[in-house]
Structure 1
């Protein structure tokens, strides 16, 4: 059989990557009808249906999904080779949304590594607590805070986290307090955290005292910074404060402190976004970084 025109294959790849005729047309600088014509040519050549309409949108058929997966990596290699030969710079953009806390405390310090591995990719990091509406927002993937229950989405845990009480060593030395001593101290509350002080005390069979001295923050990174400054004792995840514990800016004031293990941060996107090479590269990279982070936490956990 004759091979399909490479132009048609390239058009199909862009359509599958962007999941939109109009976006593929805009990206390639052609009309939507030209996109449709190239897809028809490819389907006739292959003798199968690759794309179907769902309302006003298009979706790849099962055969189309399989074909896309088989060609995607090779197309990416062709683009990269062309870029290197011509010295041209790609304009592909990866849009990430993440909460301000995970962005500031965990993602940003590691992002240079991803940039170094993906020099042909522009990155936009949107630090927001507002969940993405993927039907409206131009976002490829989100690191979302919550319980991981989002129907119809690809949901992947970032890492299991350890929650422990922490404070500045100026406020209390490491291991110097008993559990009951905490209730006499000012407790820093991260109001959107999935683990609150009341649940932590209840799990230790200690009374929940509504008359605690309190200070409230609606961002975990603010709660961590408040603890570093000596405002009180925070109950936070190692994911948000590894650097502060390693530097000694924060300590765990309870000897053999009880800890909670939770997963609160999730990689979230529509399943069809996984066809985007830039999304797959980001997921593979961040999964590797999360594993390295867990390994680096072992020594800290031994001291708690």
Structure 2
């Protein structure tokens, strides 16, 4: 029996992409051509490899086993082909992340990842819009939210601590009682999961109906406003890590209540976890997360 090389290549691309449409785009063919080649392979093998799952596809049990068996060989073929062409293979990893996480936490660390994996070309897409993995060529997303997205692989990046912070030129560390915060302009990040109106009851404070405030729709803007001495912000140690480490932000409140929330999540179709480039990125991300967490043990207040 002649080995259906073309059909195997098309199946591998579709299984790796988790989508007929994405595989078609990658291979520069029509979606119907991809479906036809997969049907050819299924007839040859005598088993169903793919099944519909909503607007996308999913591997059957036989498809899972077959994809697992051929993936290593396919990567070897790709590397060998690139070598004989006389150039180093370049693989693009597309990561989508919120603007604040991209600017404040990922960017200062990304150089370590790129230095370790020079064969990877990284594209960082900074947006709050959630990814439609059936339509968009995104490998992995770092998403803000509550972690409830059925049908996707979801993992918390870290449990963050939220504290009042300001520039040391605005107020000294450990200089204000919680109720005295109300006498200052409060900086709000309107999309944050930790808000001043929830913090006050935890601090045993009953605020007036209104207090001086300024509002931003991005946490990185609220953090920068606090650094510039515009007031006191309620922000996450994850997002303001660099400012805390450099002493540009401090906690001015005596014994503030501890607020711990997971707001940032690793999100992708489970199929993507088979991709080597995704696994490498997640291994690096978890290592960086562990290093970061060691600097903020439970109850530690940034001073």
The answer to whether the 8 A contact 2:22-2:137 is kept is no
Question: Which residue pairs with 1:295 in the alignment?
Answer: 294
Normalising by structure 2, we get a TM-score of: 0.86
Q: Note if 1:14 corresponds to 2:13.
A: yes
The answer to whether the 8 A contact 1:166-1:233 is kept is yes
Question: Which residue pairs with 1:163 in the alignment?
Answer: 162
Determine helix, strand or coil for the equivalent of 1:206: coil
Give the distance between the partners of 1:146 and 1:36, measured in 2 at CA.
35
CA shift in 2, pair 1:276/1:206, >3 Å: same
Q: Note if 1:174 corresponds to 2:196.
A: no
Question: Which residue pairs with 1:200 in the alignment?
Answer: 199
Determine helix, strand or coil for the equivalent of 1:239: coil
Give the distance between the partners of 1:290 and 1:256, measured in 2 at CA.
26
Give the distance between the partners of 1:251 and 1:55, measured in 2 at CA.
48
- Runs of at least 5 residues in structure 1 that lack an aligned partner in the other structure: none
The answer to whether the 8 A contact 2:55-2:134 is kept is no
The two structures, once aligned, show a CA RMSD in angstroms of: 2.9
Higher mean Cα deviation, 149-158 or 225-234?
149-158
1:64-79 alignment, distance < 5 Å: 64-79=63-78
Determine helix, strand or coil for the equivalent of 1:273: helix
Give the distance between the partners of 1:41 and 1:24, measured in 2 at CA.
16
**Aligned residues between the structures:** 303
CA shift in 2, pair 1:80/1:287, >3 Å: farther
Cα drift, residue 200 of structure 1: 0.6
1:43-54 alignment, distance < 5 Å: 43=42, 46-52=45-51
CA shift in 2, pair 1:77/1:209, >3 Å: farther
The answer to whether the 8 A contact 1:16-1:275 is kept is no
Question: Which residue pairs with 1:88 in the alignment?
Answer: 87
CA shift in 2, pair 1:186/1:31, >3 Å: closer
Cα drift, residue 28 of structure 1: 4.0
Question: Which residue pairs with 1:215 in the alignment?
Answer: 214
Cα drift, residue 278 of structure 1: 2.9
Question: Which residue pairs with 2:62 in the alignment?
Answer: 63
Normalising by structure 1, we get a TM-score of: 0.86
Cα drift, residue 292 of structure 1: 2.0
Give the distance between the partners of 1:248 and 1:19, measured in 2 at CA.
45
Q: Note if 1:251 corresponds to 2:250.
A: yes
Higher mean Cα deviation, 64-73 or 205-214?
64-73
- Runs of at least 5 residues in structure 2 that lack an aligned partner in the other structure: none
Give the distance between the partners of 2:54 and 2:227, measured in 1 at CA.
53
Deviations 1:68-105 (A, max 9, x none): 23433453344345435644244543222211111100
Determine helix, strand or coil for the equivalent of 1:234: strand
Cα drift, residue 242 of structure 1: 1.1
Determine helix, strand or coil for the equivalent of 2:143: strand
Higher mean Cα deviation, 193-202 or 95-104?
95-104
* Higher helix proportion: 1
